[in-house]
């Protein structure tokens, strides 16, 4: 039987808009790939003295649907999946 936390998380995920509805379109895919080419290392790992390839472009400050903040490249950072998932779990 799932734990209460898992049930709540599952319910929240069902209510969440799709990635495309949240702005992650083909234009985002193209922009994020270009960003990763220019910034290939995980920013968080780099701060900890590790050299790890980045695979995700993260919004430093969550955009929460704000298109200006979404496309503001100074609000982007390259992260590896492990760091991105940890940041997401923390709700940052």
Hey, where are the domains in the chain?
Answer: 24-90
Q: What is the pLDDT of residue 61?
A: 94
Q: What is the mean pLDDT of the chain?
A: 86
Whether this model's pTM surpasses 0.85: no
Distance of alpha carbon 78 from alpha carbon 58, whole angstroms: 6
Q: Which of 61, 55, 24, 25 is nearest to 37 (CA)?
A: 55
Q: What is the pLDDT of residue 66?
A: 92
Distance of alpha carbon 70 from alpha carbon 23, whole angstroms: 8
Instruction: Look up residue 25 and give its two tokens.
Output: 């379109």
Give one word for 42, left, alpha or beta, with left for phi > 0 and alpha for psi -120 to 50.
Answer: beta
């Amino acid at each position: 039987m799932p734990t209460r936390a898992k049930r709540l998380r599952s319910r929240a995920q069902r209510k969440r808009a799709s990635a495309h509805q949240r702005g992650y379109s083909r234009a985002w895919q193209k922009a994020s790939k270009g960003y990763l080419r220019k910034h290939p290392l995980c920013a968080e790992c780099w701060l900890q003295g590790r050299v790890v390839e980045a695979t995700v472009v993260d919004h430093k400050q969550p955009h929460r649907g704000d298109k200006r903040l979404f496309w503001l490249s100074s609000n982007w950072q390259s992260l590896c999946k492990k760091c991105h998932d940890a940041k997401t779990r923390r709700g940052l």
